[in-house]
Amino acid sequence: MSSSIPKTHSGYLVEAPGLGLSSVKLVKDQQTPEPKFGQVLVAVKAVSLNYRDWAVITGTYPGVKPDLVPCSDASGEVVALGEGVSNWALGDRVMGIFTQGQLAGAYDDANYPNTALGAGADGVLTEYKVFNEQGLVRIPQHLSWEEAATLPCAAVTAWNSLFGAEQGAPSLMPGQTVLLQGTGGVSCIGAQVRCPFTATSAIGADHSSLLPPLSPTHTPQLALLAGAQVIVTSSSDEKLAILVDHIQASRNGGGVGPLHTINYKTFPDWDKKALEITGGKGVDFVLEVGGAGTLEKSFAALRQGATIIDIGFLAGGADVQLPNVAMSTLFKSAIFRGVLIGSKKNFEALNSAIISSGLKPIVSKVYAFEDAPQAYLDQSKSGVVGKVVIRVAKQ
């Protein structure tokens, strides 16, 4: 390897999942790995956190390997190539795919969980990481290291959820409505993955006059989403305003599809508000992150024959009774689909859309590498809009 690459580096380990923050340890003077045949050494620049990372250290996420290098989402620079590598060059800006074994198609291999970064396989919260050359995608040129680090989990999940035709699932069509729960990474990126045409916003507050006029930059890849409207729920008007402001300020106005927001503290029966927005018809897709605590209202808000995409389990607990999912699915003639991120092919399709639209993800806060435990603590709170990022390399 190049003499500019240090022989040792620092990285975090989760020694005993279930102990919380006390299990996250910074380990210095680790041997820097050399890439073997078909492998690439990446100098990690930034890492973003997901709720999953908190679940890993608190012992509520299954299939975690011992002595784990945590986290799944990173951006970095290719600094060394193993023999036989043909897809990458030194200096390339890259992101690792979440499930390293899932290059295309459905999540249908029993070994895939063992290749998922930050749980079944060692993750990316380290200064140097070796990847198989097939386990990387290129960073869109207009994104910073920190912005790129937000994409591998949340953004790919949003893309796969709404455009899952590769997995044989329904895809979002013009004129349909998507309901997104909360203002975390999936909802923030999902709200932007809409395209031109009409522009209204917010139940109880109409922002249509504030959205920028359409321009040719609105029309390429994301035109597939033309006319889709989005409903976002949150407990905070402030967080909803941050999301709306970010979309209005983006290069393509976030796509300028109809955007509505519902504060579920103000309107506890948010399912009825969703029905009101859709003229009583119901929504076509729900991206369900709450689990037991929100499923009943998600089914109530759903159009007959529509789709709930289960991507999380944030709301609920021992005192929350799970609704009768089988009966609700049957009588709604609904599709209830579990989505565990997506494939490399999904990621590359997402990147094409990001490049053509100029979309930028929301970065909530950036922490220094040595402050990673504080970043975890911040991620565990409900006040985050978008993504919490750890800057690994000093810039």
- Which residue, chain included where needed, has tokens 């897709």? 285
Lowest-pLDDT range of 236-250, 277-291, 323-337: 236-250
What share of the chain has pLDDT > 70, as a percent?
83
Phi and psi at residue 107, to the nearest 5°? -80, 75
In this prediction, residues 335-343 reach a mean pLDDT of 93
Q: Is pLDDT of 51 > 60?
A: yes
pLDDT band at 225 (very low <50, low <70, confident <90, very high): very low
How is residue 168 written in tokens? 């044989």
Which residue did the predictor score with more confidence, 5 or 213?
Answer: 5
Mean pLDDT for the chain overall: 85
Interatomic CA distance for residues 49 and 54, integer angstroms: 8
pLDDT of residue 205: 40
Which residue did the predictor score with more confidence, 142 or 171?
Answer: 142
In this prediction, residues 227-253 reach a mean pLDDT of 78
Task: Name the residue among 271, 327, 276 with its Cα closest to residue 294.
Answer: 271
What is the domain partition of the chain in residue ranges?
8-151+361-391, 158-197+225-338
pLDDT of residue 296: 93
Q: Is pLDDT of 195 > 80?
A: no
Interatomic CA distance for residues 234 and 181, integer angstroms: 7
Q: Is pLDDT of 253 > 70?
A: no
Q: Is pLDDT of 188 > 70?
A: no
Interatomic CA distance for residues 274 and 262, integer angstroms: 8
Which residue did the predictor score with more confidence, 308 or 315?
Answer: 308
Interatomic CA distance for residues 387 and 192, integer angstroms: 15
pLDDT of residue 213: 28
In this prediction, residues 45-62 reach a mean pLDDT of 95
pLDDT of residue 315: 53
In this prediction, residues 130-152 reach a mean pLDDT of 97
Lowest-pLDDT range of 193-197, 211-215, 252-256, 282-286: 211-215
351 burial via Cβ count (<10 Å: 0-12, 13-18, 19+): buried
Amino acid at 256: V
Task: Name the residue among 241, 305, 296 with its Cα closest to residue 270.
Answer: 296
Contacts with 29 (C-beta within 8 Å, 6 or more apart), sequence order = 8, 10
Angle of helix 372-379 relative to helix 51-58, nearest 10 degrees, comes to 100
pLDDT band at 167 (very low <50, low <70, confident <90, very high): low
Which residue did the predictor score with more confidence, 212 or 64?
Answer: 64
pLDDT of residue 74: 98
Per residue in 73-117, pLDDT tens? 999 999 999 999 999 999 999 999 999 999 999 999 999 999 999
How is residue 179 written in tokens? 């309901």
pLDDT of residue 145: 98
Given a contact cutoff of 8 angstroms between Cβ atoms, the answer to whether 228 and 194 are in contact is yes
Amino acid at 345: K
In this prediction, residues 278-284 reach a mean pLDDT of 96
- Which residue, chain included where needed, has tokens 């699915």? 329
**How many residues are listed for the chain in this entry?**
395
Q: Which overall architecture, per CATH, does domain 8-151+361-391 show?
A: Alpha-Beta Complex (3.90)
**CATH homologous superfamily of 158-197+225-338:** NAD(P)-binding Rossmann-like Domain (3.40.50.720)
